[in-house]
Amino acid sequence: MATTNTPARVIVTFPLPEQGQRLLENYACKHDWELIQWRDSEINMTRGQFLDQVNRGADGILCKMTIRIDEDVLARAGDRLKVVSTMTVGCDHIDCCSLKARNVPLGHTPGVLTDATADLAVALTLAVCRRLGEAMQAVCNGEWGAWNPTWLLGTEIRGKTLGVLGLGRIGLATAKRLRAFGVSRLIYHSTKEKPEAAQVDGEFVTLEQLLRESDILCICCSLNASTRHMIGYTQLCAMKPTAILVNVARGDVIVQDDLERALREGKIAAAGLDVTTPEPLPPSHPLANMKNCIVLPHIGSATVETRNAMSVLAVENLLAGLQGRKMPAEYV
Ligand code: DGY
């Protein structure tokens, strides 16, 4: 256990966006932390490099989703560890039960990335509906010939049934935005019926109904034991052959090989994925090369404003945890 005279040893596994980095350095200086930070933004800190540092002692850890914080990490850190803070809203890379058992508080970054992620969900939905990936590729490939009234026809959002899997903060913000495009009906499936669904005139349905009736299905749920691989071949076959699937949650909500098969066999029309398994998805992966699939490199929260806000919140959570105070955003 670090005494009051021992400076807190803080491990940060990546360089933070500007505002968070500035705050981190201020706090490190003011509170005399021994700050161990991975500074390379192009290459991730490896698990081995991280464990090496944890072995040398850690009072606080600030991480992102590229390193699993599991029992092994916690055992190495021992009683000295006072806080884990992740610069993500999703905590599927963290063994939350082990943290709880060891009484180590976990901070995350909800709320500040809702708008950016919902904006991206809309962008991806439109990109898939209007075949933007194919259209851009056609220009690059010199396939843009005479204006052809039947070339690259997409589909409209207006008049469609929008399905949302997971009506949390991001699901609701996405639903509000897509409502403005004139969807005729909005259905959702979540762990339970949500009163806030009234804001979008949303109708709670079973998963089966959601799959069967959605023209556009946006996956916005968190990844946990009950949502992992929730959408497999059987579920995809239950969807309309004209349906569009958009995933801004986590790749593992879907059985990815099944999605590839369903797209190839025309069980659904097209997909837009901001998240995959693994990340990064190798460029040679079939999903990265299918006309009816748009893959983005997990950029849901990637705006200057949002990433700064996430980094500041993550640092504030870290400081609060180190000081034994209530965090601004503790994961429960
Ligand atoms: C998160 O925060 O969980 C996102 O996936 C990255 O912004």
89 shares its domain with 210 = no
Count of the separate structural domains present in the chain? 2
Per-residue pLDDT tens digits for 262-293: 999 999 999 999 999 999 999 999 999 999 99
Q: What is the pLDDT of residue 1?
A: 44
64 shares its domain with 119 = no
Ligand 1: centre distance to CA 227 (Å): 16
Q: What is the pLDDT of residue 2?
A: 46
Work out the average pLDDT over 188-194: 97
Ligand 1: centre distance to CA 93 (Å): 11
The reply to whether 93 belongs to the active site is no
Ligand 1: centre distance to CA 205 (Å): 26
Q: Is the pLDDT of residue 70 over 60?
A: yes
The letter for the amino acid at 211 is: L
104 shares its domain with 167 = no
Q: Is the pLDDT of residue 256 over 50?
A: yes
- pTM summary value: 0.96
Q: Is the pLDDT of residue 110 over 60?
A: yes
Work out the average pLDDT over 25-46: 97
133 shares its domain with 120 = yes
Q: Is residue 3 part of a domain?
A: no
Structural domain of 67: 9-111+305-322
Q: Is residue 58 part of a domain?
A: yes
Q: Is the pLDDT of residue 25 over 50?
A: yes
Q: Is residue 2 part of a domain?
A: no
231 shares its domain with 105 = no
Q: Is residue 176 part of a domain?
A: yes
89 shares its domain with 131 = no
282 shares its domain with 314 = no
Question: Could you identify the atom of ligand 1 that is nearest to the CA of residue 113?
Answer: 7
Q: Is residue 329 part of a domain?
A: no
Q: What is the pLDDT of residue 238?
A: 98
281 shares its domain with 176 = yes
Q: Which of 14, 92, 94, 117 for a ligand 1 pocket mutation test, highest count of atoms within 8 Å of Cβ? A: 117
153 shares its domain with 182 = yes
Given 93, 108, 285, 298, the catalytic residue: 298
Q: Which residue has the higher pLDDT, 243 or 332?
A: 243
For the Cβ of 276 lying below 6 angstroms from any atom of ligand 1, the answer is no
CATH number of the domain where residue 176 is located: 3.40.50.720
Q: Is residue 327 part of a domain?
A: no
Q: Is residue 332 part of a domain?
A: no
97 shares its domain with 129 = no
Q: What is the pLDDT of residue 173?
A: 98
Q: Is residue 4 part of a domain?
A: no
Q: What is the pLDDT of residue 4?
A: 55
Ligand 1: centre distance to CA 306 (Å): 11
69 shares its domain with 207 = no
For the Cβ of 113 lying below 6 angstroms from any atom of ligand 1, the answer is yes
Per-residue pLDDT tens digits for 134-150: 999 999 999 999 999 99
157 shares its domain with 257 = yes
